[in-house]
Homo-oligomer: A and B are copies of this chain.
Amino acid sequence: MTFKLHNFFRSSSSVRLRAALNLKGLTYEYVPYVLRNGETRTPQFLAMNPAGLVPVLELEDGNYLSQSLAIIEWLEETHPQPPLLPHDPDSRARVRALAYMVACEVHPLNNLRVLGYIGTEFGANEAAQKAWFTHWVETTFDALETMLSVSDDTGAFCYRDTPTLADICLYAQVWNNRRFEIDMSRWPTIEGIFARLDALEPFRMAAPPAQPDAV
């Protein structure tokens, strides 16, 4: 199967999806869009995804999937090996909860369009945008650090010693944090997990600098 990945090198949800595809050993054609130029607001793009957001995964049958976590669950169901979720329901719930803490509590508040809005509507300058960004990272990363550091389920990665959906979301967010040079030493468990993920080729090759449209 050949996929077309409509995405942007720096987009955090694009990093997630690239990591998942790489971990599954799936290849894809890379189609880049420049968000700031409105390239995801064209009629052509909106026909693929009316929300005008990357990433979009174009399937061989012409179907378009959107929302990175929905696509990753689809990959898990259609290409189960290697698994990105544990087998038993309680562990799956734990991994998904860790993933959603990033995907539903941090990233939605810290993406480009929100930073743009607080700049335009509230006059937030670079320092105020950094304070906003940092506040929401710290709020959730403090809780994540606690959840990871106290649990016997935490290993080299968020859940034992094989990367899961939680690691995918965490890895993408830590890359995102670099936008505002967030000091990671406050969260030693997360920092260690990130370093181990970043040593793995499927993650490394999903990171922003490894993409053809990186600037």
Q: List A residues at the B interface (Cβ < 8 Å).
A: 49-53, 63, 65-67, 69-71, 73-74, 77-78, 89-90, 92-94, 96-97, 99-101, 103-105, 107-109, 113-114, 117-118, 121-124, 128, 131-132, 135, 139-140, 142-143, 146-147
Contacts and interface: CB of A to CB of B under 8 A. Distances in A.
Given A69-B104, A74-B96, A122-B122, 8 more contacts: A50-B143, A51-B143, A70-B93, A74-B89, A103-B104, A104-B104, A108-B108, A121-B132
Contacts of A69: 96, 100, 104
Contacts of A114: 109
B118 A122 contact: yes
A11 B69 CA distance: 23
B140 A51 contact: yes
A118 B128 CA distance: 11
A63 B151 CA distance: 13
Q: Which 8 A-B pairs have the closest CB atoms?
A: A70-B96, A108-B108, A122-B122, A51-B143, A67-B97, A74-B93, A50-B146, A70-B97
